[in-house]
Amino acid sequence: MYKIAVLRGDGIGPEIVDQSLRVLNFIEEKYQLDFDIKYAHFGGKGIDEEGHPFPESTKSIVDWSDAVLLGAVGGPKWDQAKDRPEQGLLSLRKHLGAYCNLRPIITFEALKDMSPLKLDQGKNIDLCFVRELTGGIYFGKKERIDDLAYDQKQYETYEVKRIAKKAFELSKKRAGKICSVDKSNVLMSSKLWREEVEKMNETYQVDLNHMYVDNAAMQLIMNPYQFDVILTGNMFGDILSDEASVLAGSIGVLPSASIGDEKGLYEPIHGSAPDIAGQDIANPIGMIMSLAMMFQNSFERTDIYDFIYKNVNKTLEDGYGTVDLKLDRKVTTREWTDQLIKNMQS
């Protein structure tokens, strides 16, 4: 029995989550699994229904679950709220102790022409960011004193060790290759980062290289094929993973996982897209691939991840796409999932 907390969220969140749950139902039957699903209010919906973006009732459902599936949160309606929906997201990640963000950059063959870069046909970018999520400059001491402002960037050894361990373990399941990104030529915290990563490699013995963040930003565009696992800190990871996301062709196709030592949170990388909400035109792929990541990471069912990936790829190859994709057969969110499920059945 797998217990899943489902937070549909705001904007396009409910539309895409509902499609991913149709895929979940299919998987339940095909693989003879047993899922117990509980829904909870979160984000703007949490504010509207229970006066808080991450209400207590949602906390207990999250605590009950083995994994959390999240749509997206936010929207203009709550921009002036005391606790904004996005604040709920930070609290949820903290509550889960999710210090590691996994962001695979998957390029589907059928979408290669949509990338702003001229990608090599027949050659696939397949890389995954392992980004530290709860430390670094975003969480350091910050202050404004008249004409002076500062943000402190710091990392403690234990923080580097635990995120590096995630990257090394992941790399053992992938190509055995890690690029650790830092700025150790000028930052003390990066020196510590590099030292700890080097030390850990004495145990794991993978193909490890280090790259300064400015060079990494350039290399991602010049030769993205060279990367497999990219290990980096909070701010560098934030910037580089957004840069790399354009390689996939649409923000709508990319999934993510935020994990710690216990359960994971799975959500697409995009926001609640209020401009297209309620029209059944949002791309459900990022959400469906986030569900696939849940099987891969929380339930150790890589076979189910592969099954979902293969059929998403096939549906795109068949030419079906939502409006954000340059494909011949334009379909709605629901119709795209119909085609995916048809492919899964055959």
Which residues are part of the catalytic machinery? 138, 183, 214, 238, 242
- Extract the tokens encoding 318: 């068949």
What pairs with residue 35 in β-bridges? 2
Per-residue x/- mask for ligand NAD, residues 43 to 62, rule CB under 6 A? --------------------
Per-residue x/- mask for ligand NAD, residues 77 to 116, rule CB under 6 A? ---------x--x---------------------------
User: Near ligand NAD by CB under 6 A, which window of 47-55, 58-66, 205-213, 263-271?
Assistant: 263-271
* CA 243 – CA 84 distance, rounded (Å): 26
Query: Are 43 and 74 in contact, with CB atoms under 8 Å apart?
Result: yes
First to last CA, the chain: 26
Q: Please, what is the minimum distance in Å from the beta carbon of residue 254 to ligand NAD? A: 9
Closest C-alpha among 228, 225, 333, 335 to residue 282: 333
**C-beta atoms surrounding 338 within 10 Å:** 16
Q: Please, what is the minimum distance in Å from the beta carbon of residue 73 to ligand NAD? A: 4
Q: Please, what is the minimum distance in Å from the beta carbon of residue 44 to ligand NAD? A: 8
242 near ligand NAD, judged by CB under 6 A: no
CA 265 to chain centre: 9
**Torsional class of 294: left (φ above 0), alpha (ψ -120 to 50), beta (otherwise):** alpha
Q: Kindly tell me which residue out of 276, 291, 331, 340 binds ligand NAD, with binding defined by CB under 6 A.
A: 276
Residue with Cβ nearer ligand NAD (120 or 275): 275
List the interface residues with ligand NAD, window 277-306 (CB under 6 A). Answer: 282-283, 286
Number of chain residues interacting with ligand NAD (CB under 6 A): 21
Residue with Cβ nearer ligand NAD (182 or 324): 324
73 near ligand NAD, judged by CB under 6 A: yes
List the interface residues with ligand NAD, window 305-334 (CB under 6 A). Answer: 324
What pairs with residue 266 in β-bridges? 69, 257
Residue with Cβ nearer ligand NAD (35 or 139): 139
For 131, counting Cβ atoms within 10 Å of its Cβ (0-12 exposed, 13-18 middle, 19+ buried), the class is: buried
Residue with Cβ nearer ligand NAD (6 or 273): 273
Q: Please, what is the minimum distance in Å from the beta carbon of residue 87 to ligand NAD? A: 10
72 near ligand NAD, judged by CB under 6 A: yes
CA 245 to chain centre: 11
User: Near ligand NAD by CB under 6 A, which window of 69-77, 110-118, 230-238, 289-297?
Assistant: 69-77
Place of tokens 């709508």: 252
**Count of alpha carbons within 13 Å of 84, Cβ hemisphere only?**
11
Residue with Cβ nearer ligand NAD (182 or 267): 267
Q: Kindly tell me which residue out of 111, 127, 273, 304 binds ligand NAD, with binding defined by CB under 6 A.
A: 273
Q: Please, what is the minimum distance in Å from the beta carbon of residue 286 to ligand NAD? A: 6
User: Near ligand NAD by CB under 6 A, which window of 134-142, 270-278, 303-311, 313-321?
Assistant: 270-278
Using CA of residue 54, residue 57, residue 59, residue 65, what is the dihedral sign?
negative
DSSP string, 242-296: HHHHGGGS-GGG-EEEEE-SS-EEEEESS---GGGTTTT-S--HHHHHHHHHHHH
Applying CB under 6 A, which residues contact ligand NAD?
Answer: 12, 72-75, 86, 89, 251-252, 267, 270-276, 282-283, 286, 324
